[in-house]
Structure formats: C-alpha cells, structure tokens
Structure 1
C-alpha cells in the first residue's frame, strides 16, 4: 500500500483519483489544490507518490515538481493533464515526471501508471 499525495485545483478531480486509488488499496495521505500547497504537503507527509495536475492557480504543477525534485531527487511524480497539453507533458517528463495520465481519468490507466512508477 502506497502513501499518495493528490494535487489538483478541481475538487472533483481529487475525489475521482482518491476513489480510484483507494479501490486499488492505496492510501491518500493528503490533497493540495495548488503547487505551493503541494510542496508544503510533500515536505510534511513524505508520500511515496504524487499525482500532480499541470495547470493550477498560484503555482503550476510543473514549477512545483521542479522544486520538489530539487529537494528530493528520488520523488515519484505522475503528471495529470487535460487533452491537448502534449507540449507541457513532454516538458514535465524532461523535468523528471515518471509518467502522465490524461483527464478524464481512465481507472485502468491510472492504476497501471501508479503501479509502474511505484515498482
């Protein structure tokens, strides 16, 4: 069972991911709605994995990921993006994201990505 931090500015998206992850026996240890909260919670909770939305107010997922990975190079982060954000996804992978999942979330794809990144 992995400890997972979910970062997304949309409560509905956080809820959707929480339900998918709990069904797969993972523990959601925290939720953040922007990049600044994500960094703070990452430092407090030290999760095994982070799902990080790319586009958020205050600080983007991309910026937050770069800061988290400076602090913790081994951090495992899966980026989440809406369709049509391929350029940002490529940038995220180059900056150290382990995988990405596309919204709307496909349960099987989410679990596959999480399992692969954790192992």
Structure 2
C-alpha cells in the first residue's frame, strides 16, 4: 500500500484516479488542483508517489515537478497527460518524472505504472 498525492485541476479526474487507487488498497493522502498546491501538499504529506497532471492553472505540472525534484530528488512522480502532449511528456521525463499515464485513465494501465514506479 502506498501513500499517493493526486494532482489535477479537474475534480472528475481526481475522483476517477482516487477510486482506481483506493480499490487497489492505496491511500490517497491529498488532492491538489494546481502546481502551487501540489508543492505545498508534497512537503506536508511526503507521499510515496504523486500523479501529476501537466496542464493546470497557477503552476503547470512540469514546473511543479521540477520544484519538487529540486528539493526531493528521490520523489516518485507519474505525469498524467491528454493525447497529443507527447512533447511535454518527454520534457517531464527528462526533468525527473518516472512514468506517464494517458487520459482517459485505464485502470490497469494506471496500476501498472504505479506498481512499476514503486518497484
């Protein structure tokens, strides 16, 4: 069981991911709707893993990823992207993201990525 922080500006997406994770017996320790909240919550909760949306207000997922990795080099972050964001996904992986999952979420793909990243 892992402690997971979900970051997405769409409440529906956070709910969907939360349901997938909880059914797999993971604990959702927090939800953030933008990159600023993501960094704050990461520092407060120190989760085992973060699912991070790329496109968000205030601070996007790549900026938040870079900020978290800078302070916590061993942070495990999986990026979530819509189709057609391949360039940003590559940038995120280069910046330290461990994997990515594509929306709409497929339960098995989400859990596979999480299990692989958690090792």
TM-score, scaled to structure 2 = 1.00
Query: Hey, what does 1:2 align to over in structure 2?
Result: 2
Residue ranges of structure 1 left out of the alignment (5+ in a row): none
Q: Say whether residues 1:113 and 2:92 are aligned partners.
A: no
Q: How does 1:6-45 map to 2 (within 5 A)?
A: 6-45=6-45
Superposition misfits of 4+ residues, deviation over 6 angstroms: none
* Per-residue deviation, 1:92: 0.5
Count of matched residue positions in the alignment of Structure 1 and Structure 2: 119
Q: Distance in 1 between matches of 2:42 and 2:118?
A: 16
Q: Provide, for residues 66-91 of structure 1, a one-character-per-residue CA deviation record: whole Å limited to 9, x for no partner.
A: 00000100000000000000000000
Residue ranges of structure 2 left out of the alignment (5+ in a row): none
